Every structure is written in C-alpha cells, then in structure tokens.
Amino acid sequence: MSSGISSDRRHISCDLHLHSRFSIASSPRMTPHAMAGAALRKGLGAIGTGDALHPQWRREWEEFLSGSETAGVIVVPSAEVEDRDRVHHLILMDDFFGFFELQKTFSLAGREIAATGRPRVRLSGEEIARGVHDAGGLVGPAHAFTPWTSMYASHDRVAECYGSEPIDFLELGLSADSSYGAAIPDLYGVPFLSSSDAHCPDPWRMGRECVVLEVGEATPAGVLEAVSGGRILRNIGLYPEEGKYNRTACSRCFLQFSIDEAAAHAWKCPGDGGRIKKGVLDRARELSLGEPRSRPPYLHMIPLTEILQRVLGCSSPQARRVELLYSRFVGRFGNEIRVLTEVPVQDIATVHEGAASAIAALRCGRVKLSPGGGGRYGTFSFL
C-alpha cells in the first residue's frame, strides 16, 4: 500500500512519536494491532512504537511483529522520557534491544521505568542523550517550544539542556511549523520532525502530523539513517494556530494576551487570576535571532475526519456519519493522506461534493484560523 506521498517506496511518511495504553491519558485501544491498522488507513509508511522503555509493551510489539504482517508499515522502537528539569525527550532506536539496555541504565535514576509508558528519570538532558547515543539511538527534544515540559520552556539554548551531547533532531510540536525554528541559530542544520504525539489510534490524532523521509532501506535502521542524515522531503502537519499553545493565553479561561500585556500583568490573568502561559509563537520569536535558513516544504493539513465533521455538521469527529463517510473515502482511494493531497478533486466529488469543496479549499490555503492558546485547541473554517 502506498505511503500516500509517492509511488516510490523510499518516500515514506512517518509518525515517530506515539504512545501506548501504558501512558497516562492514553486509550486502552492503543495496541500494536490497532496502531498498525490505523497507520495503513492514514497512509503512514512508518510509525514509532512509543513507550519502548516499558517491558510489557516491548514484549507485545515483539510478539506482534513475529506473528503478524504489517503490510509494509515500518515499526520503529521509540519512547519519550522526562528529565529532572521536566523536559521531554524523544528517543528512536533501530531495535528493541537498545531499549532493553537503556532501561537498565535509566532504572538507576528512576523507579517509574517499568511502571508507566512515559517515565521520569532523575537525569539531565545531557545524561539522557549520552545514554541514548551509547546505546546506538537518536534523541532530540519533544514538542520543543511548548510552555510545558519542553526544552525551550526551560532553556534558551540547546547546550543548556544537552551540554556537550549533540541532538539528532528537534520535534516541532503541534503548535509550530518549520518557520518557527528557521531563524534560530542554535537549530541551523538540525532536522525538524513533525509527529502526532497521539495517545489514541483515531485518525484525527494518529498521523495528524508526520514527516516524509527519503529512506534507502525500508527498515527501522533505514528510517533512523534518514532522520540523522536530514533526508526530509517535507513536513506535514496542522496549521500552528490549531495547536493548544500557539498564542500566549491564560491556562484557566484561555484569554489571550500579547507578550507585553502578559508581562504587565506579571503573567497572572486579570480576569480570573489564572496563570498566563507564553505561547509558542512568542517564544519562537524571542529565540529567532538569526536569518531564516531554508527548510524542506511544510504542508499544512487538517485531518479528514475533522473536515468531514464540519462538512456534515456533526458535533464530533467520532460521529457515526463521519466514520461511515471516512471509510468510504479510504476504501475508494486507499488512505487518508492520498485523499487530502493527491486524489483529483473531481474524483473526490464522486464520493461527496461537500468534502471535495472543503479539500479544494484546504489545498489552496483558503482556511480561516482562530488560534489556540493556554491549553485549548484553535479552530478553523473554510473560506
């Protein structure tokens, strides 16, 4: 089955930051079987396992991969950890043994390793990165700009977090696109990943952001080599304004502020006393002290289920009418990414004219956005 981007098998759309049902706030439906099936429907050629430091989760994936056909989906062992400064790090390995070794190393600094999917360890970012590199893996900051549990929430420079250890990539997060990091000198030459951080296998979560890699070998090692080599063809993701932390806003009532207004209020909401959290856009502007460097194209995309929800006038992307129409599109055209990016609009119209009009508007950028902030997602409408 195609990745939804190209008939060339080496052009693979990858969502490398996912979670298992062992992570806090994750769906019990996050199983290897469900994740592999969701990847096929979405059009993903590779997915991260998420939570590969968890022993039972590793065993489930190993058993699944030994007895199941993934229909061409590459499964990359991956995990997210929180360091002693509450910064989150994304880790990628080419096999599960690397995480077995890393688990032994991290167990000396955290009792949560085998108890939760996304553990906290009493180590610095530098110590985590060194352990990952010693085990043969790749590491970089997860959702690097968000005001909670991110590198740039706690640090102004990469070296403040990682010391002498290099980062292999930076994950942008849902509230940023490549332009947000293009003028940050610290990030010149660092590959940018887009990924969903999904905690459920539903199509409005899994694959809502991904990166298209040129992979020489269709294996986990081939994916890691493409990431470390910066062979990124394009990033795909939400409009940054749709993210929960794009604008500076109160984390209680979500009232938005300019950076100067927030400072004048001492970062305390004048309406309800809630904490004002600096938005990703403002934080990226603070850090953008250089000239913008060229980056691979960034394709802004809205999940098909959310488009159908709006077209059909439903209250939720989980509505039965949305599910049925989504299934018709995937059954007819193969996968969601292909529907959103490749299938001619006139062919889409043979399934549903309203959806065809909305997808045509999306492709042309005729989208009106109401930015999110403070922990509330932004909204969109079509022009």
pLDDT averaged per 10 residues in sequence order, the chain, 383 residues:
46 98 94 96 98 96 86 94 97 97 86 81 96 98 97 97 98 99 98 98 98 96 97 98 98 98 98 97 98 98 98 97 98 98 98 98 98 98 95
Residue-range domain boundaries for the chain = 11-240
Whether pTM > 0.75 for this model: the answer is yes
Q: By the 8 A CB rule, do 207 and 15 touch? A: yes
Nearest alpha carbon to residue 118 among 35, 198, 64: 198
The pLDDT value recorded for residue 5 is 42
> Which amino acid, residue 23?
S
The pLDDT value recorded for residue 8 is 47
The pLDDT value recorded for residue 9 is 52
Any idea what DSSP says for residue 199?
S
11-240 sits in which CATH class?
alpha beta
- Radius of gyration of the chain, Cα coordinates, nearest whole angstrom: 20
> Which amino acid, residue 305?
T
The pLDDT value recorded for residue 6 is 41
Q: By the 8 A CB rule, do 155 and 86 touch? A: no
User: What region, left, alpha or beta, does residue 277 occupy, with left being phi > 0 and alpha being psi -120 to 50 degrees?
Assistant: beta
158/182 Cα distance (integer angstroms): 15
Q: By the 8 A CB rule, do 170 and 162 touch? A: no
